[in-house]
């Protein structure tokens, strides 16, 4: 087995190859890290992704309550963050598949460069998704704040529209943004943990 196919660098002295036992122990360690971090990232992101999808679907259904263009922008950012989350979920699922290749004694494990590149893509995706969703969350939060500051109790019974008050659409988007951000944080932590274990 060549160095290029190893996930962890050789640690033998004087450039000599380490024993097969040392290789097996390192590969088993990498397989365990990929398996557990991948499963944690996959299920954490999947559950929050489903919650976010349902919440965004309810927000889209309540488009009649849209009160300003900013709400449409925040909804767009939340959807973009959800798309990034789907990519992160797919990569986390891939971690578990890669772990099985490291666990097989007679199978050649993926190259270190390939595995690290995948982890880096997951990290970048989580960061980009988090930033986009935070922008959307800040936008809808500012809209809700402006509605709260402009709230006039005397107009509650005289107003013909509820869009000038905090409504269900605002709450749905805020909830979706927080769920997506949390999901990206879970994916980011799991990817960073894998990266810290294999890039040694």
pLDDT of 157 above 90: no
Average pLDDT over every residue of 105-118: 78
Per-residue pLDDT at 139: 92
Task: Name the residue with higher pLDDT: 165 or 156.
Answer: 165
What's the whole-number average pLDDT of the chain?
80
Per-residue pLDDT at 123: 95
Whether 94 contacts 119, CB under 8 Å = no
Average pLDDT over every residue of 103-117: 76
- Residue 123: strand, helix, or coil: helix
Per-residue pLDDT at 164: 62
Per-residue pLDDT at 105: 65
Rounded Cα gap, residues 83 and 154, in angstroms: 42
pLDDT of 35 above 50: yes
Q: pLDDT confidence of 1, banded at 50, 70, 90?
A: very low
Whether 45 contacts 89, CB under 8 Å = yes
Per-residue pLDDT at 85: 96
Burial 44-83 (b: 16+ CB within 10 A, else e): bbbebbebbbebbebbeebeebbbeeebeebbebbbbbbe
pLDDT of 17 above 90: no
């Amino acid at each position: 087995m060549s160095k290029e196919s190893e996930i962890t660098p050789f640690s033998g002295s004087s450039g000599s190859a380490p024993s097969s036992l040392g290789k097996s122990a390192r590969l088993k360690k990498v397989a365990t890290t990929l398996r557990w971090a991948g499963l944690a990232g996959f299920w954490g992101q999947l559950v929050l992704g489903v919650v976010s999808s349902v919440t965004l679907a309810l927000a889209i259904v309540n488009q009649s309550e849209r009160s300003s263009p900013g709400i449409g922008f925040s909804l767009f950012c939340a959807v973009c963050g959800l798309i990034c989350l789907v990519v992160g979920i797919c990569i986390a699922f891939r971690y578990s598949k890669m772990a099985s290749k490291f666990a097989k004694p007679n199978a050649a494990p993926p190259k270190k460069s390939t595995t690290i590149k995948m982890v880096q893509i997951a990290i970048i995706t989580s960061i980009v998704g988090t930033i986009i969703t935070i922008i959307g969350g800040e936008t809808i939060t500012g809209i809700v704040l402006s509605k709260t500051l402009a709230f006039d109790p005397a107009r509650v019974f005289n107003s013909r529209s509820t869009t000038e008050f905090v409504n269900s659409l605002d709450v749905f988007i805020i909830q979706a943004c927080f769920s997506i951000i949390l999901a990206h944080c879970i994916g980011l932590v799991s990817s960073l943990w894998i990266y810290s274990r294999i890039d040694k």
